[in-house]
Structure 1
Amino acid sequence: MKKLFTLIVLLAIAAAAGFFWAQKPILSSGQPSIEFTIAPGSSLRSSMQQIENAGVPVNPMMLGVLAQLTGNSTRLKAGTYELKQGVTPLRLVKQLVRGEFAQEALVIIEGWTFAQMRQEIDAHPGLKHETAGLTDRELMAKISSEYTMPEGLFYPDTYMFAKNSSDLQIYRQAHKLMLKKLDAAWQQRDPTLPYATPYQALTMASIVEKETGKKSERPMIAAVFVNRLRQGMLLQTDPTVIYGMGLNFKGNIRKRDLLTDTPHNTYTRVGLPPTPIALPGEESLHAALNPAKSDALYFVARGDGSSQFSATLDEHNNAVNKYQRNR
């Protein structure tokens, strides 16, 4: 009887010690976070060994027992994790079960071209680069059955992802989000707009995105170009010329560039260019599909970040003389 009592006491002490251990933060104050990876197909024992090999200061045997006692010995998910300050062994087991992988972030900026977006993704060290070597068309074939040209079809935003995720995940997520935003804007559009398809509206939004950095002016910028479309006028917007020049653009547009025909040159071709010229944000999408009520056909930069809008060519010429030529 005495031996049984002693055994019970020892078990109680062990349980208390185990409970205390499971609730105590693994990293002491001031220790940096530690990254570790569990390979696909790893057993519980192998997983604990990989955690120990990565330098995580936790007893792998006790951590394995904790996983077993909590019923999670076969539920640990493979992936890359980050052990941070304050994480206890019990919390670590929960992270492994839930697949709370180490997070990375990638920022896609409004107004970037697809080439700039792709360059950013290709350079990100936290991604698995499965699209390396693919042409734009080949990449789009893995993302969409509807579109072959990628420009404008990815939403600029901050994307969070598990470290070592495929870069295709980012492309698919950004493409899906752009289609969602475009559809929402299309459903709320002014029905009198001269767009035959949402894609044309997306193209207009990309022009609006590149024509001004002042968000409050975007509906007016859109109004100018919509009014020009309605009247069959040339859009004559410099960003389309720059896009059409590609690598030939060296920082300045010359008169001969405006006169050199490309599919995107809106000085030589009537109507919208065949594709968007950049990645538009939500405000440009909204402006393109809900432009301001205005009869303006022209605008010129005032030099302070804002624009002067005019309804007639004479008014526009006067504005150019005032704000551009200082006359």
Structure 2
Amino acid sequence: MEVMDHTTQEQRRTAGERPLAGRIALVAGATRGLGRAIAVALGAAGATVYVTGRTTRAHTSEVGRPQETIEETGELVTAAGGTGIAVPTDHLDEERARALFARIEADHGRLDILVNDLWGGEHLVAEHVFGKKSWETPLADGLRMLDLGVRSHVITAGLALPLLIRSDGPVHIEVTDGTAEFNERFRDNLYFDIAKTTPHRIAFALSEELAPFNGTALSVSPGFLRSEQMLSFFGVTEENWREAVAQEPHFAIAESPHYLARGLAALAADPQRARWSGTSASSAELASAYDLTDVDGSRPDSFAYFKDVVFGGKKGVAEDYR
């Protein structure tokens, strides 16, 4: 017996272009950089995206970049075609974090996608990590790194999970610096090492706990990221970023925040996304799996470049890995 398809061409087109329509997402740590790009990508795919951060139009966080605000991120999500909802939140403040999830529950009763991109510790890294031993790092600053990179993630996951398991296919993504394979190397400093390797274990543990709920949990990492902070450090913009290669040759492999963001939006919309659960994925791996490119049309693979050329001594240049 023939089954009639009552969907219109416009409905089918919209479903194809907006595969996350009707999905409720939270990007924790979305004021700038990768978190902002992920939020916008999810919005462009049709999701309602709650975005959190500590810098607002009235208050600047310890990151010290008043030019990017969480309100602006919410507006960019809406402009991309989604619904952006900015909720200024310090996820280390348990009361405020609970209020955030109470609001999501009151608004929607569930959460479908959590992207745990909390950090904001680059100022500590610059001062205490590279070329420094852990005992040369003031204890308070080392513990602050753990608060920003570990405790905030655990608080957010713990409060989000009761809402995530109400979804028909929950997605939990832990964002960190370095894939699990890359982070088998010592990450320069005790505190930084713990902060950047722990999200892999959080994702692995949650892949087990969410499995009975048709859930997917994984950790992801960008490569050498052209965030606003990194561009400012080199004194360049996204338009002329290649000029920074003269200062740092390895910057030739750098990628925009949109590269990993596109991959995560594709993964969230993938009916077969469970195959990623419990894994650690790079932006390049997601781009290859979903046939995506960065904004310049290339497909940079920072981790292969660093493994082969920088650490492995293989002859090659960054362009060989784009």
Fold match (TM-score > 0.5)? no
**TM norm structure 2:** 0.23
TM-score, structure 1 normalization = 0.23
Bigger radius of gyration among the two: 1
